[in-house]
Amino acid sequence: MSEPKFINIGRKLPPAEPISDVPDWQQAQPAWIENALQHAISLPSGGWYVVDGSRAIGESPERYRIAGEDYVVWRSEGSPVVASDSCPHMGARLSDGFVRDGCVVCPWHGLALGNEAHGSWRPLPVFDDGVLVWVRPESDEEGTLEPILPPRPERYFDAVMRLEARCDPRDVVANRLDPWHGVHFHPHSFGRLKVIERDETTITVRVVYRMGKRLGMEVDARFHCPEPRTIVMTIIRGEGVGSVVETHATPIEPGRSAVIEATLAASDRPQFHTFFRAFGGLMRPMVEKRARRLWVEDGAYAERRYELRCNGN
């Protein structure tokens, strides 16, 4: 079957050969995906989990469940605070309360809690990288002062989407370690996709992002895992070199995960930043919608993978 033709509206790329001509289903080897996944799982995480996008954390208290524990999250004087959702007095849910003068006020008897510890209740280490908010709960994992962030472009336009899926973080990472499903499972988004480089832990694809029926943007994109719950796609050739899509998976509880995906788009074209400065607010929901559409499908993939693992396959 001949391949669909697209007019590339991006930069012209140097020629590159696919590493194999066999059909995608034969190239997508479960053993390679599993090896790369095991390598990712063996990396240190520093004990950090992504809570949500920075813009999603506001001044009202919200509840987030992370690794089986409920946390209350709010902003105090611009900085995010994350702590146990259980009031140290009699256990009311603090996320049902409200914020006054930067403190969360318990809905049952009005105890105000802020950045100071109160008995065993204390705010956890938090890191706001400007795009995402991370927390480091107490755990056996060796903690680092800051989360392990992949390289990011110096200037970027960012958009973040979050959704939940019935799977573990490893299923989310495994989905992105399988680029071969791209054109088959998401024909609305990818026009053509070939693996052009691969070693034990990283994989590089030449991919056409569909911008319309016959229009596309062809780029080379590399996937790697900087830590066990993150997989990053970096554009290494073509339009927007240095742009990244960071997919983070945060366990909610066994068999349930949050997928938090940050798109950090960059370009060396001066008009790019002028455009996003002016229209970023309008563009952001569109970028988030596109990412969500892919993750609704990839969530189903990850859920199926989890189901198979639970059944011993």
Footprint of ligand FES (CB under 6 A)? 87, 89-90, 92, 106, 108-109, 111
Q: Which does 298 bind (CB under 5 to 8 A by kind): ligand FES, Fe ion, none?
A: Fe ion
Question: What minimum distance in Å lies between the beta carbon of 101 and ligand FES?
Answer: 16
Q: Quote the least distance from Cβ 69 to ligand FES, whole Å.
A: 18
Contacted by 111, from ligand FES, Fe ion, none: CB < 5 to 8 Å by type: ligand FES
**92 binds, options Fe ion, ligand FES, none, Cβ within 5 to 8 A by partner type:** ligand FES
CB 205, CB 179: distance < 8 Å:
yes
- Alpha carbons within 13 angstroms on the beta-carbon side of residue 299 total 21
Q: Does 298 participate in binding Fe ion (rule CB under 5 A)?
A: yes
> Residue 178, interface with Fe ion (CB under 5 A)?
no
Beta carbon nearer to ligand FES, 63 or 109: 109
Tokens of 72: 């209350």
| Identity of the residue numbered 78 | G
**Considering the complex, what minimum distance in angstroms separates the CB of residue 190 from Fe ion?**
9
Q: Per the structure block, which two tokens stand in for 38? A: 């095991």
Task: Please compute, for residue 307, the number of CA atoms within 13 A of its CA located in the half-sphere on the CB side.
Answer: 8
Site string for Fe ion, 254-293 (x = CB under 5 A): ----------------------------------------
Phi-psi region of 280 (alpha: psi -120 to 50; beta: other; left: phi over 0): alpha
Q: Are 210 and 196 a contacting pair, CB within 8 Å?
A: no
CA 228, 231, 236 angle in degrees (round to 5)? 140
Q: 92 by DSSP, 3-state: which?
A: coil
Q: Considering the rule CB under 5 A, would residue 171 count as an interface residue with Fe ion? A: no
Using CB under 5 A, list all residues that contact Fe ion: 298
